[in-house]
Structures are given as structure tokens and as C-alpha cells.
Chain A
Amino acid sequence: MLSKRRHMASRKRRTNVESARSTPILERDSLNVKHFKPISALEMPHNVLATVLCSLLLVAPGTRADTAGGLEIPWQAAGLTEQQAAAHLLERFAYGPRPGEIEAVAELGIGNWIESQLAGDFPGSVLSSKLAQLPAMSLKQRQLVWRYSANKGLLAQEAIAEGLFTLADYTGKNGDLRLRDALAALERFAMDRNATPDQKLIDQLRAQKLLRAVHSESQLVEVLTDFWFNHFNVSATQRVARVHMLSYERDAIRPRVLSTFRDLLGATARHPAMLLYLGNAQSVADPSATTTFDLEVTELDRLSPLDNPTLRMRLARDLGWYNREARLKLGQQPRGLNENYARELLELHTLGVDGGYSQRDVIEVARAFTGWTTFPPGGARAHVETTLVDSETAIDMGFVVEEEFVFRADHHDSDEKTVLGMHLAAGYGIEDGERVLDLVARHPATVRHLARKLAIRFVSEQPPPSLIQRLVATWELTDGDLRNVVRALVAAPEFWSDAARRSKVKMPFELAASALRALDVDVVDASATVAWVQRMGQPIYAFAAPTGFPDRSESWTHVGPLLSRLNFGRELARGGIPGIRLDVMGFLGRGSLRSFEDATAFYFPVLMPGRDATFTLSLVTAGSEEPAGDGESATPELSDAELAKLSPEQRRQLAVAARQATVRHAVNAVGMLIGSPEFQVR
């Protein structure tokens, strides 16, 4: 009898969850939210897709494809050559051109390049063999948590508790020998548990970003992943979030950068990295509120008063709710509402700071997300896992477990709420949060906020209103389809304008990646370069604030970081960055360089193809008016007649000297060009 009822309850719950996820807008929304046009979400993408397909079919190879998704790409109207257009495109929607790539894009056509990037199916064998060397990349989300959760202090505590050594041994009070034994025992203990410090995971996360930026063919996806990660920023400075960050980018963000905004938003909202970083994992219903769990228990009480106490007791025991101390140990101190995620969801992720929400809305949104959490760390995890995973009882009670995401019905405030004028009726569980996401993902303020942010990142830091309008229109027409947003950016005349081109200072990561790409390097080990990127002022994956790195040119060239940019160029050029294989001389073939000016003229188009070198070269030449002097005249020019008079040994010495001078000029010029103002901008 009971089990049947329980199944009914469970069916009800499941249906709610499914409907919340599969249909973006529930019926209730359109009734409550007056200022929203209901969007026919199912029809739009088909139309767009059709247009895209047509345009691809109609444009025969060889003809110049000036369209993407049926939109005309107005680079010609901006007065650019095909090379200039390709260069600009690759500096904004890729990490800069590799050798020969500008010609390839010009040959393929701008529109075709964008469409092939949007289709995004590249075998990329070089990249996959490099990524395969990072063990974390192939581990599932859950395996990552197990493998990389090691914290030395905690491990030592556990090892002491298990009697492997004493505290006095570990702190060295019993002498060096005992200390050494204790440390060795700790090492074995960590290995037995397959535990690796979470820093190793962050190292791999950083390495894969550089490997992909330099070696991936899916450049658009990489650039967009960078943008959206930064938009939904989480930081390794938040210790508990670290172990989830690789999965956050790999599983939540990268697969969705060409999906819809709602899809992407939802994936970030459920991911433990975000839940822990902004503290929603600790957000618990106010003690006075009725939780979803309370509701279900009351319902069971009504249906089956006799059985219920037993059930309640069992769940309580299994989850350890009756014991506050146990909860403290779980690291889930029930402190009540935590508003941080709710506030940043509205202020940063969706509506924007002037998006017209109130503090009341923040609290109501926070209430809607109570119970959105993940498993507790350490030993407590197994306990909660056995209780919740695949448990009919738990499902009946409104719990949801999906990978590492846990919805705790006993923490969710199921009382009624009003968010931005939308009424959320009492009695729901995980649906509350999903409905809030539906609402804010499509809110006009969100569309404006995101259009502006995209325009600033991809076009110009003073985006013209006309551009914003164009992006907003596309976004609304296609319900936040991120492919079409990219097409709209490339099709905007503003994108190709003089005001936009070369107007942005590269962020340090972009600077490093573009230099490595231009010089066609092989990244054997990314760590030293990653350290340089940090020195240049961009600790990737470790920007503490949820705002993400500022997308403002002038904040990247402060005195200290600028100096590091210059030094990065010099170190790279002279082969001083471990793990980077490059052959500066390879570009020259058998040619030689007679002077620093020669070398600068030669390497300028290598590093900055499609750019006008005149000004830089005129300054370099002007700066060299003084006689070259000292080492400069080491390779005197000899006429053929004079050469013929030399002995073979003399000729050999001359050749060696010339080669050495060439190397020196090449290294000096490449180092200087990477540090030059022209290379800092894109």
C-alpha cells in the first residue's frame, strides 16, 4: 500500500522536474510575466538553421563567401583587403593567426571560416595527443573529485586518527627520524587513497587552456569558452571550488558555448564549482520556512500515518539531520540563506547592475535556490551518497541527484515567492530555481547586458548603440541562440570599422597565445608559459572576484605587467621559456640578416601579418641614426671579387660570423616586436 503511494508521489515529482527542464517556459510564466513576448522557441532555430544550410549550399567553393547564416559580412564595405579582414577576424575570434592562416582564411572566405568554426568538427590529432598527457582530462567529474580532493593538513589529521603516526612525530617533536618516517607514511597514505593535491588539477586546467589556445583548430570555441568562463567566473582562490573547476569548464561551459544562453546559464547554476564558489551550496531555508521535505512528510503523514514515523526516522538517521554536530562536520553548517549566488546571478550573470531588481528580489531568488548544493567533502560524502543516490525514498521526498549536483529537499524553502514580479506558488522544489533561470535568461535587461558585454569583448570598448541594437534584435529573434549571436557580431559593420580594429589591448593570455601561434611553436610543457601569463598580470582561473577579469584595455598595461610583457617577448625570442619549442631562424631559411633594422623588417609581418609595418619600421630606423658601431659591423660586405680572394678557412669564418650575427639580430628583433606597442593590440 505504502509503496504504491510512494510511487505516485515520485511520479509527480519527476514529472515536475522534467517539465521544468525540457520546456523552457512553463505555462505559468506567460500568465504572470506581462512584459514578455512568449517566444516560439521551437520554430525559430529551424528557420535559422535552414537559412544557414541554404547559404552553405549556394556558395560554391572558390567564390568569395561574404555571408554567414544568410547575413552579409561587410568587410569589403569597410575598405579592407581580404588579408586585413582575415587578420582582424583571427585576432578577435581566434587567438591570432598562425603562419599561412591568413591566406587560408582569405582563400576559404570569411563567412565560410565562421560557418566551419560554428559547425566545429575538427579531428585535431596534435591537440588530442597533447591533452592525453594530462591525466585529469579523461577522468569523469566524480573521479576528479575523488582523485584530487587531497588536502595535506586534512590527510595528516586522518592519518593520525588512524594511528599511522603521532602528532608529535608529524610536528618533529620526536626528532628528525620520526618526522621523516611520518612524512613518508603520509605520502603512502595519500597514494593508497589515490589522492593528489587539488593544485595538480588546477595546473592541468591551466595547461589545457594554453594547449588548446595554441594548437586547437576550434579557435572560435576556445575564444568563446574563455569569454563565458570569465562571464560565469569561479576562482581557484576559493579552495573548495578548485576540485570542480576542470569539470566546470569542460562539462558545463565548453560544450554549450554554441548552444543557447539558457542552456549555458542552467549548466553553470547546477555545477558544484559555482555552487561552492558563491556559497549557494551552504544556502539553507530559514528555520521558519516549510521545506519541500517537510511538505512530503506531511503528505505521507496524511496518507499513511502509521508507516511515516519509521520512514522519517530512517531518513533522519541516514542523513544525520538530527545531529547538529554531524552537520558541522559535514561542512554544511545550516546558517540559513546565503544571498551571494542570487545577487551575482542577477547583477553579473543576467540582468546587470542596472537591471531593475531590488534587494527583495535578491532574497527571493536566494530562497528559490535554497537546497541547490553538492555532496559534502571527505568521509561525509559516502554517507550522503548512499542515502540519496538511486534512492526511491529520496526521490519521493523531492531530492535530486545529477552527477555532482544535489538538490536537498530538506534545505529548500518551498513557501511562495515573488521574483521580479513573477509569482512562484508554494509547494515546489527544484522547479523554483529553474523557473527563475527561465525568467532571467530571457529578461530584456539580460539581453541588453549580454549584448553590450559581447560587443565590448569582440568589437570595441565603446560599442556604438547601433551595434547593441543589432545584437539585441538577433538575440531576441533567436531566443539567445549563441551561434546566431556570433554571426551577428561578424556581420556588423561596426566590427570591421576603423574604430574597432586594433582598438583592444590583448589580455596577457591572449598576448602569449598569439605570440606562440605566430611563431608556430610546439608547446611541449605549458607550465612556464602559464607562469609568465600570471606574471603579466593574469592569473588564469584565479581571479578572486565573480566579476571575472576586467575587459578594459587600460587595466592590462600597468607598469609592472607591461614590463613583464616586454620580458616575456625577450625570453621567448631567446628560447628561454621551458617547454616551448620554437625555431625563430626557421622563418629565414638560408637567408641572413645584416642588421637589427633588417631583422625587424623581416619579422614584423611574421608576427603581425596583415598589419601596416611602416610606422614601426620608420621609428626603428629613426632610432638608429647614430652609427651602428660596435658589434654591428662584424659582417662587412665583400664583393664577389674580394670573396674569391679568401681562403676556404677565411670564408668559413666569415659565414659563421654572419650566421651568428643573423641569430642575434633575429632574437633581438623578435623580442622587441613582441614587446612593442603594436603587438599589444588586436
Chain B
Amino acid sequence: MWTRRAFLKTGSLALYSLGVEPRFLDRLALASTEGPRPKILVSIFLRGAMDGLMAVPPLGEEKSLRRFRPRLAMGGARSDADRVLDLEGQFGLHPAFSPLLPYWQDGRLAIVHGVGSPNPTRSHFDAQDYMETGTPWRKGTPSGWLNRLSQRVSGQDSPFAAVSLTPELPRSLYGEYPALAIPDLADFKLSRLHDHLDRQRVEDHLELLYDKGAGGALRQHGNDMFEALRVLSQQEFKTYRGRRGSHYPSSRLGQSLMQIAYLIRSGVGLRVASAESDGWDTHVGQGKVGGPFAVRARDLARSIAAFWSDIEPFQDDVVVLTMTEFGRTVRENGSSGTDHGHGSCLFALGNQVDGGRVYGGLPTLEPEALFEGRDLPVTTDFRAVFSEVAGKLFNLTDDSKIFPGWDGPRLPVLW
């Protein structure tokens, strides 16, 4: 394993001796000499709106479920066909999530049911926007909640403090804090020039130009960039597939989490990481044990499980939080799918999570108990969970700094 110390010796210290200002790894090394290890939040956005009712179905409501969704309802924990996993209580878990079950059993995975936005919009864009800005009634909030969080929990000490494994910055990371959006860290390299012979020379020239010929932010960003290039050109990163025993799916989410794990293990100052999973908008042929929903769910569970075993030495420092813009209709539609609804559920994983429990809750599945007669109602504002996770993890007290206009109580899902 390549270590920071080794890098300091071979990389930036050598430059330091040439009179170059301390760069981000030195700044990090200086900053990390005191205090406990920094905490890390990994956020996974499930785009398209996950069907919370299929993910975590209430047990003992099989009758209503079969009435509302004859082609989608699955058997309860005690039935034979289409068996859902038993969460020992009122709820079951879709079998595709089985890789997560051990974490539930040893109490580090929590579920919040009936979570969502107070804004009843059923537009993906609006709902994602509201959730990612953290302001469910305001479009114009210029920054996202993860950016505001990054701003508060990390100085400008590392270009890898806030990272999104996406081609574009997600709305949650819009803002003044310099977050890095990159679909694949392996792309973080200088492309080849005309001739290999000249490559190093031209790069040296550029580095010199940024260091001596630029000012202000341009200079700092330039210096950090060249240092980050050296970090990610390590042979070890190029061949990184996760530590022994962690089997990442080859999906985008799996690869994203693998790279996040690499950053965590490298100690380059990651605080807030963001990854995404697409395809939850299951209008058509949602499926049961198999089908589009199960494919997504299995990918999510396997990716998280691989990630969690990969970061084994760092598990005390990390919380993984999933989120989705809204839930889906309780009733199935004419094409064996579900349409845009309201409340859904989310997962929180971490040693600091008070898990093995389902927080929040669902009403009985009767039309009059449903939101607008059709959807799971939102019984927990997403901000109650996000502010708890961010607040407890990073020791923040003023939630309104991250969620302007929010003064509701946190939902205590963390120790």
C-alpha cells in the first residue's frame, strides 16, 4: 500500500526543497497531526425515485399489497414464493438487498421509511433539485447542501475533500466550495501530446507557468492539480480493484464506490463523497424477484457491501447515506410498473449508525390513509435525517447553516 509518507518523500517534499510552497498533502499532513481522524460522508443518490414499498414492504399488509399491486406484490417473510427477507418486525426487505442484511443484523444499517420532501411535486427535476439544494420550496438556492457541508467541515486543504464520481457536478455540490466532479479518477491525467519524448518537458513548463506565472486562485488550483496528478498516477491506483474479499460489481455505482474507497484509504483528505445510481424510474415492467427494480437493488446492495468491506480499517469514520427524490404510487399502473409518488425509504450504514431498526413509519395501506389517496405519505422530512447524519458525524450544531429555513428536530439515527 502506497502511503502518504512515501509520497511526501518522493513527491512534494522534493519540490518543497526547491522552494515551492507547501501543497495540499503537506497542508493535510500538518492539519492531521492533532485530533481524531476526520469523518467522511458518502452520499448515494438513487435517481428516478426508488419504490420504497417494494424495497422495504410492510409485513402483515400482504392483503392490501396484493389488492393494490397484484402483479408486483411479493410474498411475506413466511410465504414460499417471491419471499422477501424478514427484518424481524413489521417490515421485510426485497431479496435483492440481501448483501445488506448482515449489516442490519449487527445493528449498523438503519432504514427510514416514509421519508421525503414536504413539497408534493412529482417532477423528478423539481424534487431532485429541492432535495439536493436542501430547500424544498426554493429553486433559486445557489448552492447544494453537500457543498455547504463541505464548506463547513473542510478548509481549502485538499482538492479531494469533496468529490463526485459523475461527469457533471450534481446539484447537491453546486456552490463556492471547490468540489471535484469526475466520472472516473483514472481520467484524471494529462492526455498524451504529440510525442512521448517531449511530454515531461511540456508538463514541467506548464507547472512552472502556473507556479510562477499565475496569481491567486489560478495559481493555487494549478499547484494542487499537478500534485493531484502525481497522486493519481501512482501505479497502485491504476491497478486498484479493492482489497481482498471485496467484490465490486462492474457497474458505474460499483466502480464509483471503489474509487471513493481508494481515496479514503489513501488519506488524501476526502470529507464528502457523492455517487449515483440511475434507472429507478420503473414505470414499465418493474418486476418482482427479477426485473429492473431487482437489478438496481442488487447492484446497490452489492456495491455498498463491497465498499464497506473494502474500507474496513476506516469503518468508524464513514457513514453511507442513500436518498431518492420521491417514492412511487402504492397502486401499480397499467404497464406493471408504478408511477411517481411521494414518500419512499432510505438506508444509512455506519458504525456510528443506531441500526437494526426502521425509523419513521407507514400508515396502514388504506386509500384514505394515503397521500392524495395514492402515495405513501411523507412522515419524515428528509432534512430531519440529513441534518442528523451530517450534524452528528461532523459535530455541527447549527443545522440552518446547511439547511436554510429548517428548524425541525433531527431524527436520531446516529449514536
Is chain B found bound to chain A in the same assembly? yes
Using a CB–CB distance below 8 Å, which chain A residues touch chain B? 153, 156-157, 160, 167, 170-171, 173, 237-240, 278-279, 333, 335, 339-340, 343-344, 347-348, 505, 534-535, 537, 539, 542, 544-547, 550, 553-555, 557-560, 562-563, 566-567, 570-571, 573-574, 576, 596, 615-616, 619-620, 622-624, 630-631, 663-664, 667-668, 671-672, 675-678, 680-681
Closest to A597 in B: B205
What would be 15 A-B contacts, judged by CB atoms less than 8 Å apart?
Answer: A160-B335, A167-B284, A279-B121, A340-B140, A559-B180, A562-B225, A563-B228, A566-B206, A619-B205, A624-B201, A624-B205, A664-B198, A667-B193, A677-B209, A677-B210
In the bound complex, residues from chain B placing their C-beta under 8 Å from that of A238 are: 123, 125-126
In the bound complex, residues from chain B placing their C-beta under 8 Å from that of A157 are: 283-284, 335
- Are A559 and B283 closer than 8 Å at their CB atoms? no
- Are B129 and A544 closer than 8 Å at their CB atoms? yes
Interface assignment of B197: CB less than 8 Å from any CB of chain A: yes
- Are B125 and A239 closer than 8 Å at their CB atoms? yes
Instruction: Report if A344-B140 is in contact (Cβ < 8 Å); known contacts: A539-B168, A559-B224.
Output: yes
Indicate which residue in B174, B194, B197 contacts A574 across the interface (CB closer than 8 Å). B194
Centre residue among A347, A570, A630 by max chain B CB count within 10 A:
A570
- Are A677 and B213 closer than 8 Å at their CB atoms? yes
Shortest CB-to-CB span from A186 to chain B, Å, is 12
In the complex the two chains form, what is the Cα distance from A571 to B194 in whole Å? 9
- Are B202 and A668 closer than 8 Å at their CB atoms? yes
In the complex the two chains form, what is the Cα distance from A624 to B222 in whole Å? 20
- Are A570 and B180 closer than 8 Å at their CB atoms? no
Residue-by-residue, is B166-198 near A (CB-CB < 8 Å gives 1, otherwise 0)? 011101001010111110000011111111011
Closest to B198 in A: A668
Shortest CB-to-CB span from B124 to chain A, Å, is 7
- Are B194 and A616 closer than 8 Å at their CB atoms? no
- Are A171 and B284 closer than 8 Å at their CB atoms? yes
Shortest CB-to-CB span from B104 to chain A, Å, is 31
In the bound complex, residues from chain A placing their C-beta under 8 Å from that of B285 are: 167, 170-171, 173
- Are B213 and A343 closer than 8 Å at their CB atoms? no
Interface assignment of B295: CB less than 8 Å from any CB of chain A: no
Shortest CB-to-CB span from B341 to chain A, Å, is 13
In the complex the two chains form, what is the Cα distance from A571 to B195 in whole Å? 12
In the bound complex, residues from chain A placing their C-beta under 8 Å from that of B141 are: 545
Indicate which residue in B176, B178, B194 contacts A559 across the interface (CB closer than 8 Å). B178
Shortest CB-to-CB span from A316 to chain B, Å, is 23
Interface assignment of B21: CB less than 8 Å from any CB of chain A: no
Could you tell me the dominant secondary structure of chain A's interface residues?
helix
Shortest CB-to-CB span from A165 to chain B, Å, is 12
Interface assignment of B120: CB less than 8 Å from any CB of chain A: yes
Shortest CB-to-CB span from B217 to chain A, Å, is 4
Interface assignment of B369: CB less than 8 Å from any CB of chain A: no
Indicate which residue in A279, A535, A563, A631 contacts B126 across the interface (CB closer than 8 Å). A279
Indicate which residue in A170, A547, A619 contacts B142 across the interface (CB closer than 8 Å). A547
- Are B218 and A557 closer than 8 Å at their CB atoms? yes
In the bound complex, residues from chain B placing their C-beta under 8 Å from that of A567 are: 190-191
In the bound complex, residues from chain B placing their C-beta under 8 Å from that of A619 are: 205, 208-209, 212-213
- Are B205 and A335 closer than 8 Å at their CB atoms? no
In the complex the two chains form, what is the Cα distance from A546 to B284 in whole Å? 32
Indicate which residue in A237, A537, A668, A677 contacts B193 across the interface (CB closer than 8 Å). A668
In the bound complex, residues from chain B placing their C-beta under 8 Å from that of A535 are: 167
In the complex the two chains form, what is the Cα distance from A160 to B337 in whole Å? 14
- Are B123 and A240 closer than 8 Å at their CB atoms? yes
- Are B188 and A631 closer than 8 Å at their CB atoms? no
In the complex the two chains form, what is the Cα distance from A410 to B204 in whole Å? 68
4 further interface pairs, Cβ-Cβ under 8 Å (given A171-B285, A559-B224, A668-B193): A170-B284, A340-B140, A555-B178, A677-B222
Interface assignment of B14: CB less than 8 Å from any CB of chain A: no
In the bound complex, residues from chain A placing their C-beta under 8 Å from that of B410 are: none
Instruction: Report if A615-B213 is in contact (Cβ < 8 Å); known contacts: A557-B221, A571-B191.
Output: yes
- Are B139 and A344 closer than 8 Å at their CB atoms? yes
- Are B174 and A663 closer than 8 Å at their CB atoms? no
- Are A343 and B216 closer than 8 Å at their CB atoms? no
- Are A623 and B204 closer than 8 Å at their CB atoms? yes
Interface assignment of B159: CB less than 8 Å from any CB of chain A: yes
- Are B335 and A167 closer than 8 Å at their CB atoms? yes
Interface assignment of B154: CB less than 8 Å from any CB of chain A: no
In the complex the two chains form, what is the Cα distance from A59 to B180 in whole Å? 53
- Are B198 and A596 closer than 8 Å at their CB atoms? yes
In the bound complex, residues from chain B placing their C-beta under 8 Å from that of A546 are: 139-140
Shortest CB-to-CB span from B80 to chain A, Å, is 22
In the bound complex, residues from chain B placing their C-beta under 8 Å from that of A571 are: 191
Q: Which of B131-169 touch A at CB < 8 Å?
A: 133, 137-142, 159, 167-169
Instruction: Report if A343-B194 is in contact (Cβ < 8 Å); known contacts: A558-B178, A560-B182, A620-B205.
Output: no
In the complex the two chains form, what is the Cα distance from A559 to B195 in whole Å? 25
- Are B221 and A558 closer than 8 Å at their CB atoms? yes
Closest to A544 in B: B171
Shortest CB-to-CB span from B154 to chain A, Å, is 14
Centre residue among A279, A534, A547, A559 by max chain B CB count within 10 A:
A559
In the bound complex, residues from chain B placing their C-beta under 8 Å from that of A566 are: 190, 206
In the bound complex, residues from chain B placing their C-beta under 8 Å from that of A574 are: 193-194
Leading 8 A-B pairs by shortest Cβ distance: A677-B214, A554-B217, A171-B285, A559-B159, A667-B194, A631-B197, A558-B178, A567-B191
- Are B140 and A671 closer than 8 Å at their CB atoms? no
In the complex the two chains form, what is the Cα distance from A539 to B171 in whole Å? 13
Instruction: Report if A668-B195 is in contact (Cβ < 8 Å); known contacts: A544-B129, A559-B178, A623-B204.
Output: yes
- Are B213 and A616 closer than 8 Å at their CB atoms? yes
Interface assignment of B233: CB less than 8 Å from any CB of chain A: no
Instruction: Report if A545-B284 is in contact (Cβ < 8 Å); known contacts: A237-B125, A571-B191, A596-B202.
Output: no
Shortest CB-to-CB span from A219 to chain B, Å, is 25
Shortest CB-to-CB span from B228 to chain A, Å, is 6
In the bound complex, residues from chain B placing their C-beta under 8 Å from that of A615 are: 213
In the bound complex, residues from chain B placing their C-beta under 8 Å from that of A596 are: 198, 201-202, 205
Residue-by-residue, is B108-124 near A (CB-CB < 8 Å gives 1, otherwise 0)? 00000000000011111
Interface assignment of B20: CB less than 8 Å from any CB of chain A: no
Centre residue among A558, A676, A680 by max chain B CB count within 10 A:
A558
Shortest CB-to-CB span from A237 to chain B, Å, is 6
Interface assignment of B31: CB less than 8 Å from any CB of chain A: no
In the bound complex, residues from chain B placing their C-beta under 8 Å from that of A347 are: 140
In the bound complex, residues from chain A placing their C-beta under 8 Å from that of B180 are: 558-560
Shortest CB-to-CB span from A442 to chain B, Å, is 22
Closest to A667 in B: B194
In the complex the two chains form, what is the Cα distance from A630 to B218 in whole Å? 32
Shortest CB-to-CB span from A546 to chain B, Å, is 5
Indicate which residue in B176, B188, B190 contacts A560 across the interface (CB closer than 8 Å). B188
- Are A672 and B159 closer than 8 Å at their CB atoms? no
- Are B202 and A672 closer than 8 Å at their CB atoms? yes
- Are B195 and A631 closer than 8 Å at their CB atoms? yes
- Are A676 and B206 closer than 8 Å at their CB atoms? yes
In the bound complex, residues from chain A placing their C-beta under 8 Å from that of B142 are: 545, 547, 550
Shortest CB-to-CB span from B62 to chain A, Å, is 24
Interface assignment of B336: CB less than 8 Å from any CB of chain A: yes
In the complex the two chains form, what is the Cα distance from A257 to B159 in whole Å? 39
In the bound complex, residues from chain B placing their C-beta under 8 Å from that of A348 are: 140
Closest to A555 in B: B176
In the complex the two chains form, what is the Cα distance from A545 to B176 in whole Å? 14
In the bound complex, residues from chain B placing their C-beta under 8 Å from that of A240 are: 123, 125
In the bound complex, residues from chain B placing their C-beta under 8 Å from that of A153 are: 281, 283-284
Interface assignment of B229: CB less than 8 Å from any CB of chain A: yes
Shortest CB-to-CB span from A638 to chain B, Å, is 22
Instruction: Report if A623-B205 is in contact (Cβ < 8 Å); known contacts: A545-B141, A676-B213, A677-B218.
Output: yes
Instruction: Report if A560-B181 is in contact (Cβ < 8 Å); known contacts: A555-B176, A668-B193.
Output: yes
Shortest CB-to-CB span from B335 to chain A, Å, is 5
Instruction: Report if A547-B194 is in contact (Cβ < 8 Å); known contacts: A558-B178, A566-B206, A619-B212.
Output: no
In the bound complex, residues from chain A placing their C-beta under 8 Å from that of B224 are: 559
Centre residue among B176, B197, B206, B283 by max chain A CB count within 10 A:
B206
- Are B168 and A570 closer than 8 Å at their CB atoms? no
